[in-house]
Amino acid sequence: MKRKKFITATLATAMLPLIGKSFGMLNQAEVGKGFKINRGEGRLHGHIKLKGVNANVLDVKVSGTDTGGNLAVFEQTSVSQGKGTPLHIHHLQDEMFYVLEGEYFFKVGDDKFHLATGDSIFLPMKVPHAWTQISEKGKMTVIFQPAGKMENFFVTLAGLDHVPDREEMVKLFADHEMQIVGPPLQLE
């Protein structure tokens, strides 16, 4: 019995440098190099002009590819007063909004919230939520953790040559790890 423990301990000790090297390479790859994105600019895709639930414009500030899929940050310029998202669920990600300008109305689960400049809201994964724009114009920082397929979702919507119908939107949401569970939020 002692011999078996000795052999196991020796093999485990011998593997430590390899394991350490693997973790070191992983951390080195994740750290990468810092970068700056100027005001009014987007990283990788330029301005992503949405089609579908609204006609807002998204700028990627931090891409999921920058963080190994751990985080994505967008700046959304809102130009679709009275329009927002359908009630939906993100199965694998939390979401946070910080209002830079304007006013918005959010529903998270059964709760409803009015947000104005300087307010923020947290939307946990697996909780139905929706939002709509109250003010004529607005701007929000939108954060997804982990990044998931959101960047690809926005790029796909912007690349369409038509405004998708409800059936197509349901499929697009599903293809990007989300589920539509209700209609868009109406202003109260």
116-130: pLDDT as tens digits: 999 999 999 999 999
User: For residue range 52-98, what is the model confidence (pLDDT) as tens digits?
Assistant: 777 788 899 999 999 999 999 999 998 888 888 899 999 999 999 99
Strand segments (E) across the chain? 47-49, 57-62, 72-78, 86-90, 94-101, 103-108, 111-116, 120-123, 129-133, 138-145, 178-184
* Count helices and strands in the chain by DSSP H and E runs: 3, 11
- 23 falls in which pLDDT band (50, 70, 90)? very low
Q: How far apart are CA 67 and CA 155, in angstroms?
A: 18
Lowest-pLDDT choice from 18-27, 31-40, 174-183: 18-27
- Going from N- to C-terminal start, the domains of the chain cover 1-31, 47-184
Angle of helix 150-159 relative to helix 166-175, nearest 10 degrees, comes to 150
Which one, of 177, 178, 174, lies nearest residue 128 by Cα? 178
pTM recorded for the entire structure: 0.79
Residues 166, 69, 47, 122, CA torsion sign = positive
pLDDT at position 5 is 54
**In this model, does residue 186 exceed pLDDT 80?**
yes
Contact 168, 114 (CB under 8 A): no
Q: Which CATH architecture has domain 47-184?
A: Sandwich (2.60)
SS3 184: strand
Question: What is the average pLDDT score of the chain?
Answer: 85
- Give me 23's structure tokens: 């973790």
